[in-house]
Structure 1
């Protein structure tokens, strides 16, 4: 593990500001250490010479100010570190979310939601320890020893050389221990990621587990994963305690060697009392920053592991289409074409789409049908810019979509996925997802067009009913109608419908089909469907072959 992760400092402005502030505070703190030791030695020496208390009143006052100054610097380190930790983690979280939204919206990299949650949420304590305690100690460990040795050299060159000889013992032990500690920390973090991911899967699948009487078995699995995490955590703590003892021993041996040498020279008259006391007082201060650095090394290991994982995700190659600079044509005025498009998922060895040609003409409703797994939803994903074709291109009025601004392009698309996401919030807020500034009247009109107004008004709080996690549960048909209401409210020229009536009963499917009939008026619609009654509403039907690799024919509905 590196003392300072350059990638972290490069990404986080607050981290760079903290390092500058810590350097300034560390330099002032090192000077105060020297001043404090010199004043104590001077006061003790004058006391041995029989000086009265008022004769050292000035030194005592300055010493009190020095003590207060060191306390203020320690407080400044802690406060600045905590604020930097919160700021840096917020910046990293924002960058991670933005990166995934822009480059991995479909989650094709295989990173699981539980891992992202564990990395972005549970890492705050570790980063707080890193910035609040570890990073200041790095600065102190780099500044204080050199200032102390330099000051001792002006008092007694022999003592300064002795300090230089014993000083490398602690960093050497830290390096040896750190190599082992970093591996154990990564093992512990891997166990935590596994536990978080598995626990999230179990919570999501509780109804299924209960239905198949597998809840007890999953409880045993969680217990095993938790035990693995416990063993990894205890192993890390064991290393931390043992390494602390080793570092304490190395520092104690160094101080003892200096103390014995200075004591012998004091007896022989080779060094004065004030100089000897100054060296003796500064010797522990020489090793103190290194000892504390070793102690904080383990406390910050989690933070560094979290930061490394977040940075690895931030620097992962993108799967989404790159955003260009051109403004795309509107699908209401220009045709959308997939030209010899091929695509393969990273986790699959074969092509899902193989040189697919597909035209979407303005105002036309096209039904895309075929067996499951042939790449119908993949076509929708490519049109939304969630991924780039492996080969071929998508054009809008002759412009390559990869050369166009994706934010402008997506504003012209209304998407109704097969499994619509309902966010925690009111029903009205969920409908406004595509048009946040829409009025209440427009929101209700969209719900009426989608066939959702009746069931929404039947709820006690109507459009202000809270849904999503912890809110009122919605049926599959109700979710679809809310998703259709989003599409009506967005009023985009291109509508993509992915299995809009799948898993619905006949009544709900009829309501959704009627809403789709109203939605497709004056718009270009790509409708992925299986049900014949829905396919018959299309202007043209496009079939994919059973292998999902080629378009075999177009025909009017």
Structure 2
């Protein structure tokens, strides 16, 4: 399995590089500190090399002893120590700056995803987003800790060293001056191919992460239908493709390193040869020759390091493409309301509502119905008829394309989302539990609920019995997504969570799915026993649940085709009666 997206245009690459540099403004102070420390450390190379050259010259040619050269050695040791401290300080401040940039970027991404809302999340692969927020942002680390500081240092130190070399030996200075541009030139030539490979590599990593995450999420379903081996083969092919792509990147990386080392070695060797011949023929003194020879490798070191860190730039650009695309994703045009919900909600009206996830596939068409305070209303219909979509609209997770939903005459879109969320409770079709104790999971919507309230909600959801049989009861710690519990137990804990929260509207999306008949009956009795202050909307999987409702709405292809009580609808030769017959025959 491969990706066929064309290589990134150069203009886009430059734009992303500019975006990465603008993000560095958030951490300007620590990054500038890192650059300053690196530059000063580079400058100290000059007196360090001079002291070492004088000490060696004195020992070899003046036959001085250790005591005689000690005044040169003590400052030399001091310079070693100072440069080591500066190198450590530069690393620490660069890491701090990068951490600040990554933290700010992750906050921006989380805020953007929150503003885009559940509709956007429903269209994205969770593994792709998780990889972007973790691996994608972490990939930018070396860009800020190594590449940007090294670029500044590489532009300063070679110039400073040339200024020191030319007075000592202009021939060596010319050799260094000619050899210096060769490294960045070949780095750019090789970098063009490497950049394309890095972009392809990042896309394959995102694909592999998304595929693996999705497989883990649906592992139980895959095993149920015997498709786990097939998915394992797909992951194997993607992993092997990623391995081969990684080796291609490493091959080019090693090639670029070889080129950089070759030109560095060639430049230093030429300086050494010219100095050696002139020393042999007595055309220059040992002290300046040895001083220049000590500085020659240091002259190329920043340029070589810049070439090495150039790969960090390409990795960052490849990762930032997806990050920038997410940050620039258009947000929903709807402006959140600011009004408060009615103090005592009397009725909810859904008026001529149309909604479509895609323009060519309407999910709801002209939906009209009302919910009165304390009423129990069931939604029934085949899969895809629009039941869960109605729940999403009532929850405020999406807005109608046409028509409106009103709360005692106030349009739901004009009400502050946080105010409406505080007044509703919801059990989704696929509830999610989090790593923590069972009590903490039940308290998710009401963190300060008492132990008695938690137990009462669990009893109402028919969950108290199996919870008490667990090793630590309500304090039993479960894994992410309810690891360690069965599907039915997860649904009962989620139902207890929904029942614990006081709400004007309670929406239960197939609350009895995955439950045995006896447990489902207990839950129906619990819902029937709820105080009539709460309006309950039931998305019914079992027709027994619908039969216990005050009113039933039958949906087909996004329209309400029937409405009425259970007995009334059974008397009509229409959809509900046909569904009831199929259900009792076991066909549903």
Alignment TM class, shorter chain as reference: 0.7 to 0.9
- 1:139 equivalent in structure 2: 152
Q: Does 1:71 align with 2:81?
A: no
Post-superposition CA distance 1:108-158 (Å, at most 9, x none): 463322223434445687455444444443332233223323444566677
Q: Does 1:297 align with 2:310?
A: yes
Post-superposition CA distance 1:255-292 (Å, at most 9, x none): 34555566677778887655444443333222211212
Provide the rounded CA distance (Å) in 1 between the counterparts of 2:158 and 2:311: 22
Q: CA deviation at 1:236?
A: 1.1
Q: CA deviation at 1:463?
A: 1.0
Distance 1:289 1:463, change over 3 A: same
Provide the rounded CA distance (Å) in 2 between the counterparts of 1:3 and 1:174: 20
3-state SS of the aligned residue for 1:329? coil
Are the equivalent residues in 1 in contact too, given 2:364–2:557 (CA < 8 A)? Answer: no
Provide the rounded CA distance (Å) in 1 between the counterparts of 2:174 and 2:217: 65
Provide the rounded CA distance (Å) in 1 between the counterparts of 2:289 and 2:384: 82
The match for 1:456 among 442, 445, 467 is 467
The match for 1:333 among 341, 345, 361 is 345
Q: CA deviation at 1:11?
A: 5.4
Q: Does 1:353 align with 2:360?
A: no
Are the equivalent residues in 2 in contact too, given 1:425–1:467 (CA < 8 A)? Answer: yes
Q: Does 1:465 align with 2:488?
A: no
Q: CA deviation at 1:237?
A: 1.0
Distance 1:456 1:144, change over 3 A: same
Unaligned runs of 5+ in 1: none
Distance 1:269 1:554, change over 3 A: farther
Provide the rounded CA distance (Å) in 2 between the counterparts of 1:287 and 1:531: 76
The match for 1:285 among 283, 298, 301 is 298
Q: CA deviation at 1:173?
A: 1.5
Are the equivalent residues in 2 in contact too, given 1:422–1:430 (CA < 8 A)? Answer: yes
Provide the rounded CA distance (Å) in 1 between the counterparts of 2:419 and 2:163: 62
- 1:37 equivalent in structure 2: 49
Deviates more, 1:79-88 or 1:506-515: 79-88
- Corresponding pairs, count: 553
- 1:436 equivalent in structure 2: 447
Unaligned runs of 5+ in 2: 1-12, 567-588
Provide the rounded CA distance (Å) in 1 between the counterparts of 2:128 and 2:211: 10
The match for 1:60 among 62, 66, 73 is 73
Q: Does 1:547 align with 2:557?
A: yes
- 2:579 equivalent in structure 1: none
Are the equivalent residues in 1 in contact too, given 2:375–2:550 (CA < 8 A)? Answer: yes
Q: CA deviation at 1:243?
A: 0.9
Distance 1:391 1:45, change over 3 A: farther
Provide the rounded CA distance (Å) in 2 between the counterparts of 1:343 and 1:447: 36
3-state SS of the aligned residue for 1:436? coil
Are the equivalent residues in 1 in contact too, given 2:44–2:79 (CA < 8 A)? Answer: yes
Distance 1:445 1:233, change over 3 A: same
The match for 2:242 among 229, 232, 239 is 229
Distance 1:124 1:275, change over 3 A: same
Q: Structure 1 length normalisation: TM-score?
A: 0.85
Are the equivalent residues in 2 in contact too, given 1:327–1:404 (CA < 8 A)? Answer: yes
Post-superposition CA distance 1:185-216 (Å, at most 9, x none): 23223333333333344444445555555544
Deviates more, 1:516-525 or 1:169-178: 516-525
Provide the rounded CA distance (Å) in 2 between the counterparts of 1:174 and 1:91: 31
Distance 1:430 1:158, change over 3 A: same
The match for 1:479 among 483, 490, 497 is 490
Deviates more, 1:410-419 or 1:292-301: 292-301
Are the equivalent residues in 1 in contact too, given 2:431–2:491 (CA < 8 A)? Answer: yes
| Superposition pairs of residues 47-446 of structure 1, within 5 angstroms | 50=62, 52-53=64-65, 54=67, 56-84=69-97, 88-89=101-102, 91-108=104-121, 110-122=123-135, 126-152=139-165, 160=173, 162-259=175-272, 274-298=287-311, 302=315, 305-318=318-331, 322-324=335-337, 326-330=338-342, 332-333=344-345, 335-345=347-357, 349-397=360-408, 399-446=410-457
Provide the rounded CA distance (Å) in 2 between the counterparts of 1:472 and 1:229: 30
The match for 2:515 among 504, 508, 526 is 504
Distance 1:319 1:109, change over 3 A: farther
Are the equivalent residues in 2 in contact too, given 1:86–1:124 (CA < 8 A)? Answer: no
Provide the rounded CA distance (Å) in 1 between the counterparts of 2:122 and 2:281: 72
Are the equivalent residues in 1 in contact too, given 2:16–2:321 (CA < 8 A)? Answer: no
Distance 1:35 1:304, change over 3 A: farther
Q: Structure 2 length normalisation: TM-score?
A: 0.81
